[in-house]
Amino acid sequence: MATTKYLSIMSLVTLLACTSGSKKTEADDEGSGGAGGALEEGGNDGQTGGKAGAGGKAGSSGGSAGAAAGTQGSAGMGGAMAGQDGTMAEAMCEPILEATIRDFNDRHPDFEPLQTEDCLMMQCWGETLGIVKPILGSDKKPELSSAGAFVDKGGYRQVTSPQSFSQWFRDVSGVNMKTTHTFATAPRSKTLYGFGAENFFPIDNMLMGNTDLIERPIDDAALTMADAAHNQLMTIELHAEFIYQGNKGEIVIAESDDDLWLFINGKLAIDNGGVHPLMLGSVSLDNAAEMLGLEPGKTYAFDLFYADRKLYGTTLRVGTNLMFTTCKK
């Protein structure tokens, strides 16, 4: 199944305006701010905000400098979403988004460093579509689309086997350890709120610890420092429900490093799979309503899966205006 990037380039530019350039708040420890390298307002590569939509306010400079990860991200675009009245975010409750985080290390064959004959360093980095089946499994877990190893178009093995992939989002003694995590949410604009961060390290000094390289240490001082500083190599599984309003401009914008899959109503809505630097995927629910089987006024499942499989930083950041059903009192 092709990735569901339903937004035109110009629409995506407009929508990105709503996720760039928010000022840093205390919630930015989980990242509700702009996409600048320090999560401050903007980044060195951000562009000045554009024209405000009706009822919105002009955005400040955004940016995805990605300085902490040592890579230059995409430039941010300012401005509020055109044509919105700026009231949707104010009318929604603050959702409760509880997730399961599973911690891994390099003893697992799908995590850093992927073996030399397969995906070594940056040779195979990039978006890899089709790793998972387009329909969520009966146990609400994604399933590998291949009967054996999943090999990308470049001939590199991205996933070792269905058996190894099944461990990503399941509890396996001696393979992973888990904890729960409640995402803090904060406004990104008058119409969007968000959760996650560009530098997202929720399990530092927890679970299996910060030493992720155990079986195959690399003689690389920078990598060793990155490994010691944070606990990376993890997966995140989040299940929630939302009410589809219909014709309200409902969207989800997801940035990830590495894999991210979003299933809506059990169907793959965003495919950001693969070992890659910061990448963006998005879905307009109105445009995808028929494919996703959505009807206005009904409640649907929102199932998000994420994996950080290599060191040098991690990003999981989502912006949306969905009306989730579980709210803080």
Q: Which residue has the higher pLDDT, 241 or 40?
A: 241
The predicted structure's pLDDT at residue 246: 97
- Within 13 Å and on the Cβ side, how many CA atoms surround 127? 15
pTM metric for this prediction: 0.75
pLDDT band at residue 126 under the 50/70/90 scheme: low
- Residue among 202, 226, 154 nearest 306 (CA): 202
Q: Which of 78-92, 196-210, 277-291 is the least confident region? A: 78-92
In this predicted model, which residue has the larger pLDDT, 117 or 92?
92
| Of 61 and 106, the one with more pLDDT | 106
Encode 294-317: b = buried (16+ Cβ within 10 Å), e = exposed: beeeeebebbbbbbbbbbbbbbbb
Tokens, residue 9? 């380039």
Confidence (pLDDT) at 255: 96
Least confident of 21-25, 154-158, 251-255, 272-276: 21-25
Rounded distance between C-alpha atoms, residue 13 and residue 303, angstroms: 25
Which sign does the torsion angle of CA 111, 226, 75, 195 carry? positive
Task: Identify the burial level of 102 via C-beta atoms within 10 angstroms of its C-beta, where 0-12 means exposed, 13-18 middle and 19 or more buried.
Answer: buried
- How many CB atoms lie under 10 A from the CB of residue 87? 11
pLDDT at 130: 96
Q: What is the mean pLDDT of the chain?
A: 75
Closest listed residue to residue 319, CA positions, set 201, 184, 196: 196
CA 312: distance to chain centroid? 16
pLDDT of amino acid 70: 29
Phi, psi of 293, rounded to the nearest 5 degrees: 70, 40
- The answer to whether the CB of 279 falls within 8 A of the CB of 254 is no
pLDDT of the residue at 153: 82
The confidence score (pLDDT) of residue 122 equals 52
Which helix or strand (DSSP H or E) is residue 99 part of? strand 97-103
3-state secondary structure of 61: coil
User: What pLDDT is recorded for position 113?
Assistant: 63
pLDDT for residue 309 = 93
Does 238 or 85 have the greater pLDDT score? 238
